[in-house]
Structure 1
Amino acid sequence: MQWHHLPLGAGDDSAARLTAIADAFTALFRSAGGPRTMALFRRQAGEGGIDLYFTPECEVHAWPLLQECGAPPCAPPALTGLELLVGHNEITYYLTT
């Protein structure tokens, strides 16, 4: 399983899309029973954009959302600057062990 990345540009459309993705992800996270290693992160990107990162566990529980959003696989992101949007606070422990 791999990480997935979705860049969102700046603007109102991106803010609305971020909210829709976070809401859909939250519903999938809850329906999956809140897996410890399933999470959605964000990081500020250049020119006011936002990068979203989905942990590898998302392939199991949120595959349709990853496909719908068009989030391709990527290398694991550096943890610096990542902000947890949906998931358990201790996720960084699981990502570093």
Structure 2
Amino acid sequence: MQWHHLTLSAGEIAAGRTTAIQEAFTALFRSAGGPRTMALFRKEAPEGGVDLYFTPECQLHAWPLLQECGATPCAPPSLAGLELLVGHNEITYYLTT
């Protein structure tokens, strides 16, 4: 399993796409029982956009959402500048061990 990534433009953010994805992800996270290594992160992107990162465990519990929103496989992101949107606060411990 691998990380997935999605870049949203400033216009998409203004249209509420980030909120819609976060709400859909939260519902899937809860229905899966809140897996320890399932998380959604964000990082500021150039020109007012945002990068969303989905941990590898998301493939097991949120695959339809990843496909629907157009997330693509990627290398693990640098932890610098990542903001946890949905998941357990201790997720960074699991990601660095």
Fold-level match, TM-score > 0.5? yes
What secondary structure, in the 3-state scheme, does the structure 1 residue paired with 2:84 have?
strand
What is the match of residue 46 of structure 2? 46
What secondary structure, in the 3-state scheme, does the structure 1 residue paired with 2:10 have?
coil
Equivalent residues in 2 for 1:57-68, closer than 5 Å:
57-68=57-68
What secondary structure, in the 3-state scheme, does the structure 2 residue paired with 1:27 have?
helix
What is the match of residue 91 of structure 1? 91
Identity of paired residues, percent? Answer: 82
Q: Aligned residues, how many?
A: 96
Q: What is the one-letter code of the residue matched to 1:7?
A: T
Equivalent residues in 2 for 1:14-93, closer than 5 Å:
14-15=13-14, 16-93=16-93
Unpaired runs of at least 5, structure 2 = none
Aligned-CA RMSD value = 0.6
Q: In the aligned structure 1, how far is the partner of 2:24 from the partner of 2:74?
A: 21
Q: In the aligned structure 2, how far is the partner of 1:46 from the partner of 1:38?
A: 26
Superposition deviation, residue 32 in structure 1: 0.1
Superposition deviation, residue 14 in structure 1: 2.2
What secondary structure, in the 3-state scheme, does the structure 2 residue paired with 1:85 have?
strand
Q: In the aligned structure 2, how far is the partner of 1:3 from the partner of 1:81?
A: 17
Structure 1 stretches of 4+ moved >2 Å? none
Q: In the aligned structure 1, how far is the partner of 2:18 from the partner of 2:45?
A: 14
